[in-house]
Amino acid sequence: MLWHYELKFESMKSQKKIPTSKVQRATKFVKTGVKVGRNYLKHYTKKAINPSTSRDELHEDNARDIYNSLSELKGSALKVAQMMSMEKNVLPKAYSERFTMAQYNAPPLSGPLVVRTFKKYFGKTPQEIFDKFNMDAVNAASIGQVHEAFVDGKRLAVKIQYPGVADSIESDLKMVRPFAQRILKLNEQDIEKYMGEVKEKLIEETNYKLELERSVEISEAIQKAELGDFAFTKYYPEYSSERILTMDWMDGLHLPEFLKTNPSQEVRNKVGQLLWDFYDYQMHTLKKVHADPHPGNFMMQENGTLGVIDFGCIKVIPEDFYDLYFVVLQPDIIDQPEVLNKALYALNFLYEDDTEEELKFFKDIFEKLINLLCRPFRYDTFDFGNDDYFIELYTFGESLSKMKELRESKKSRGSHHSLYLNRTYFGLYSMLNELKANIKITKPF
């Protein structure tokens, strides 16, 4: 059974052009910086008159202006906003809510740009390739947008990458870096690691031929393992290129729309279990994981079947890193101080030249973090609908973002490989919390 990609855009006009040159994109960033500066000036003026003025309006204004700018630029800049939307534990609410739109609700490209892209890669217009092609996009995100098409009676989804996205990754990340560093409150070393790993993944994510190969590989492996009621789409290499990807149409609902149908607890648990098993199998058997766990990449049906529609962001887990990372996640690791210490040094959470004060400070932080992350693994079943657990998780994350020692640290703490795995677990936990799912916990140890 297939599901439906369609989402209704929030009264957005199509975009007739995208700034593609470094100068054009840099100019857009500069103008955005000026707007943000004005927002701060307005905030401090109001605060001078009324000292009790909160920063909520400032966050709202900045989130709107930054998102509007990034949504016009699309590509790497908008992708970083999408990633930051998942950092609910450190982002002000206004940013998180606004940036979440980047997951599947950005302004779509106009028809002429779509036609130009087809002519560049196929030498033909979409109308010459397909029996029918809908020029109005039904979904637009950070890297590309989806159109409906038909061939021989088959309903297809055609994902088209925005012009210039692949060529502007490095320059975009340099320009968006100050915004990300300020919003995420990362130190110089951590933002360097963050942007380096993001750059590597974005280069892969803009290669649609690689996405097609990985989609087929992982979906076939999941189906062969018979993990449950999953739906994966079929891809069509003859209608695909490095910037255009064609697949069967998939009907269904994204998580927010699915929850509005008021599914039963049984169905919520079923979908939650499928999500957990989907990631568990990839993490511990395939050693490569769908590292973009946001609601825009999953489609759900009333009976609890789960469709997966995007394998663009895949993190391959090195064997040596895997052994260290999941040793740290063992439920009883805190009771094995020698094993824990060895792993923390190997993963660059701690360094040999750390002072005694630094060792005590950072070890205490990581032990608390490990305790929180590992909590579900300590039980045979876990109720992700327990909001107290998530309040504790987000409160701890918020406290980390305010720690001067972390922001001013001269060392990057943690392997760069952990960035996408941590992000995957936080994204998975977040979706399970929204589902209020109570699931069986498989233990990889």
| pLDDT greater than 50 at residue 406 | yes
Residues 197 and 259 in one domain: no
Asked if residue 380 is part of any domain, the answer here is: yes
Q: Are 439 and 384 in contact (CB under 8 A)?
A: yes
In this predicted structure, which of 153-162, 294-303, 314-323, 382-391 has the lowest mean pLDDT? 294-303
pLDDT level of residue 8 (50, 70, 90 thresholds): very low
Decide which of 95 and 187 is more confident.
Answer: 187
The per-residue pLDDT for range 169-203, each reduced to its tens digit, is 877 777 777 767 766 666 677 777 777 878 888 88
Nearest CA to 163 out of 314, 297, 309, 16 is that of 16
Distance, first Cα to last Cα, the chain? 35
| pLDDT greater than 70 at residue 9 | no
Residues 179 and 328 in one domain: no
Position 332 scores a pLDDT of: 77
Residues 174 and 273 in one domain: no
Residues 316 and 386 in one domain: yes
Count the neighbouring beta carbons within 10 Å of the beta carbon of residue 338: 7
For residue 115, list its beta bridge partners. Answer: none
Residues 385 and 277 in one domain: yes
In this predicted structure, which of 23-27, 85-89, 182-186, 432-436 has the lowest mean pLDDT? 85-89
The H or E element that residue 155 is part of is strand 154-161
Asked if residue 125 is part of any domain, the answer here is: no
pLDDT level of residue 426 (50, 70, 90 thresholds): confident
| pLDDT greater than 80 at residue 392 | yes
Nearest CA to 318 out of 416, 413, 224, 412 is that of 416
pLDDT level of residue 316 (50, 70, 90 thresholds): very high
**pTM of the predicted structure, to 2 decimals:** 0.78
Residues 310 and 420 in one domain: yes
Position 439 scores a pLDDT of: 96
Q: Are 311 and 218 in contact (CB under 8 A)?
A: yes
- Backbone angles phi and psi of 52, in degrees to 5: -85, 0
Q: Is 185 helix (H, G, I), strand (E, B) or coil?
A: coil
Asked if residue 30 is part of any domain, the answer here is: yes
Residues 379 and 305 in one domain: yes
SS3 content of the chain, % helix, strand, coil (to 5): 55, 10, 30
Position 78 scores a pLDDT of: 66
Residues 263 and 389 in one domain: yes
The per-residue pLDDT for range 209-227, each reduced to its tens digit, is 999 999 999 999 999 999 9
Count the neighbouring beta carbons within 10 Å of the beta carbon of residue 34: 11
Asked if residue 117 is part of any domain, the answer here is: no
Nearest CA to 144 out of 110, 108, 101 is that of 108
Position 4 scores a pLDDT of: 41
Decide which of 318 and 369 is more confident.
Answer: 318
Interval 148-159 mean pLDDT: 96
pLDDT level of residue 7 (50, 70, 90 thresholds): very low
Residues 64-99: b if buried by 16+ CB within 10 A, e if exposed: ebbbebbbbbbbbbbbbbbbbbbbbbbbbebbbebb
Asked if residue 265 is part of any domain, the answer here is: yes
| pLDDT greater than 60 at residue 90 | no
Residues 77 and 177 in one domain: yes
Structural domain harbouring 58:
22-108+166-205
Residues 286 and 420 in one domain: yes
Q: Are 246 and 239 in contact (CB under 8 A)?
A: yes
Q: What percent of the chain has pLDDT over 90?
A: 36
pLDDT level of residue 25 (50, 70, 90 thresholds): low
The H or E element that residue 300 is part of is strand 298-300
Position 74 scores a pLDDT of: 61
Task: Count up the domains in the chain and report the number.
Answer: 2
Q: What is the average pLDDT score of the chain? A: 81
Decide which of 53 and 89 is more confident.
Answer: 53
Asked if residue 157 is part of any domain, the answer here is: no
| pLDDT greater than 80 at residue 11 | no
Q: How far apart are CA 414 and CA 370, in angstroms?
A: 13
Q: Transcribe 244-263 into DSSP letters.
A: EEEEE----B-HHHHHHT--
Asked if residue 129 is part of any domain, the answer here is: no
Position 155 scores a pLDDT of: 97
The per-residue pLDDT for range 69-82, each reduced to its tens digit, is 666 666 566 666 66
Q: What is the DSSP letter of 298?
A: E
Q: Are 172 and 75 in contact (CB under 8 A)?
A: yes
Position 198 scores a pLDDT of: 80
What's the full length of the chain, in residues? 445
Q: What percent of the chain has pLDDT over 70?
A: 74
CA 71 to chain centre: 16
Residues 279 and 379 in one domain: yes
Asked if residue 293 is part of any domain, the answer here is: yes
The encoded tokens of residue 6 equal 């369609």
The per-residue pLDDT for range 239-297, each reduced to its tens digit, is 999 999 999 999 899 999 999 999 999 999 999 999 999 999 999 999 999 988 888 88
Residues 197 and 343 in one domain: no
| pLDDT greater than 50 at residue 10 | no
